[in-house]
Amino acid sequence: MHTSIQLRFCSSLAFLLCCSLVLHKASAQGVTPALFWSPEKPMSDLPEVNGVDPLSADLLEQQYLNPLLKHSAESAVVFLQDKLHVDDFTKFADVYSIDSDGGAFKNIKGFIEEHFSLELPQVEDPLKAVEKLKSSFAGVVHTAGSLEAVKKLNLQPKQKFLLIIELTPSTHVHDEEQAIASNDALVGAICNHLHKRSIKYTAMFTGKSASAGQWRNVDTYSGRHLLAEPVSKNGTGVFMNVSGMYFFLRDVQVYIKQKGVDNPTILNLTVTSSSADKSTVDNKTAMVQFDLSGTPDNGTEAYNVQILFNTTRKGDRWVIENILLTVEGAANAAASNGSLVESPLRTGDMDLVVPILYSYHCSRMKMYVDTIRHKELKDYEGTYVILNGLQMQPFNVQHDAFFNAQDCVGFFSRAIWMGIFSSLILLAILFFGVMMVLNLSTPDRFDDPKGKTIVIAQAEDN
């Protein structure tokens, strides 16, 4: 019996962990798990959990909270932690051991094992659902932050109430695991206190948020970059989180070569935390837009540069469909035919197809204006853009960080193929040489010393 209960808890948490890896559109926008348990009320009549799509705050209230509290004598206890993520169970619940006691979630583990329980792996803004429940609740609403405060409340077994417990923040503390364990102990103490007072209740444990900070300076994950050229001297770059999309970029160089202009324009552009603010994303597509500005090395007039990535999610992968360059300044005073307004860039043999959970990375992404397929841009032949230290993940950000990177340099670049073919040619020459040496043989016939001597006549020179 004990083993089956352990398996039940491990399978429940494993379900939460697996659901954190599925495809969803709001993985970085406040999605947090929610755990329910009740000593008396079964939960089998509630809708089945869909681990693919996040559950909105309205659906959480309508399909789960309201049905659980429809009984006149049923009370609710909501335990709110400032931040909760499925990764917290991975780190602190010891879910990989069959004999686990729950780690930092010891008491919550016990309630899930012993009572009727339900796990919702992805809930969008559960705090909103709690606030709506609080405003529409028919009984008495209490708020507390400790066991002593709960004991002072006049809670009666036949009185319907909503008790909201504000747990101690687990972020920005020295020991996050200890903070979570302390909150778990408070959950256990309050539930045991209600049990001793014979109060029927349904409990929910969730977090107010699951998202991290919106911006920070970091060192980019360089990934694998075979034969990559040296990156920018700028050792750090700028990380940007826009609507759940993650971007990282060190700096940008633009080289504008225009027909009829003697000196090319060279722009060294600096990336800021707001450079990607105009980027947008939906279920199937994402428009990644970098807006940059700067003055050329050989001039004083400011230029505005826009680099646009159009990406599409296609089944188990996402694809960069095209990359467009727009430059506004002295070289493009009017948006006339042939000017650099949403001009396509040539990506060459770069791999622009990325597995759905992966990010895209390129240490030095150099792209020329596509004058081959777009003859109207022939006046800008030789114009190019260099993006240093680019990393982007517009879809399915997991664990509040970039996932493994698909590098723009493929496994077999041109230089590698040249090396392979040259090696094969040399190996072929060596093989034939060795085979020829192995085929050498000594004469198998010799003069018989007892026989007649072989005489070879020689003609005399006159």
Strands 359-369 and 245-249: unpaired
Cα distance between residue 141 and residue 144, in whole Å: 10
Give pLDDT, residue 226.
Answer: 42
DSSP of 184-214? HHHHHHHHHHHHHTT--EEEEEEEEE----S
Residues 215-252 as b or e (16 or more Cβ within 10 Å = b): eeeeebeebebeebeebbeeeebbbbbbebbbbbbbbb
Give pLDDT, residue 299.
Answer: 67
Multiple choice CATH, 215-407, 2.60.40.290, 3.40.50.12170, 2.40.50.140, 2.40.160.110: 2.40.160.110
> Taking Cα atoms as reference points, which of 230, 236, 155, 247 lies closest to residue 200?
155
Q: What would the pLDDT profile of 87-123 be if each residue is shown by its tens digit?
A: 787 778 776 565 677 888 889 988 888 888 888 888 8
State whether residue 438 is helix, strand or coil. Answer: helix
- Tokens 């206890």 locate to 77
Cβ 249 vs Cβ 211: under 8 Å = no
Cα distance between residue 212 and residue 241, in whole Å: 10
Give pLDDT, residue 339.
Answer: 65
Confidence (pTM): 0.46
Q: Where in the chain is the domain with CATH 2.40.160.110?
A: 215-407
Cα distance between residue 359 and residue 222, in whole Å: 11
Cβ 269 vs Cβ 294: under 8 Å = yes
Please give the structure tokens belonging to residue 178. 């200890």
- pLDDT (tens digit, 0 to 9) for every residue of the chain, 462 residues total? 444 444 454 445 544 444 444 434 334 445 788 898 988 888 877 887 655 567 888 888 888 888 877 765 678 899 999 888 877 877 787 765 656 778 888 899 888 888 888 888 888 888 888 888 888 888 889 999 899 999 988 888 888 888 999 998 887 777 888 889 999 999 999 999 998 988 888 999 998 886 443 333 344 444 444 444 444 444 468 888 888 899 999 889 998 888 887 788 888 888 888 899 999 988 889 999 999 988 886 666 788 899 999 999 988 899 999 999 998 875 444 333 446 888 899 888 788 888 888 899 988 889 999 888 888 888 888 899 999 989 999 988 877 788 888 888 766 767 788 999 999 999 999 999 999 999 888 776 666 677 776 677 777 665
Q: What would the pLDDT profile of 10-23 be if each residue is shown by its tens digit?
A: 445 544 444 444 43
Cβ 288 vs Cβ 387: under 8 Å = no
Terminal C-alpha separation, the chain: 118
Cβ 245 vs Cβ 281: under 8 Å = yes
Please give the structure tokens belonging to residue 126. 């559960």
Give pLDDT, residue 447.
Answer: 67
> Taking Cα atoms as reference points, which of 349, 368, 37, 393 lies closest to residue 191?
37
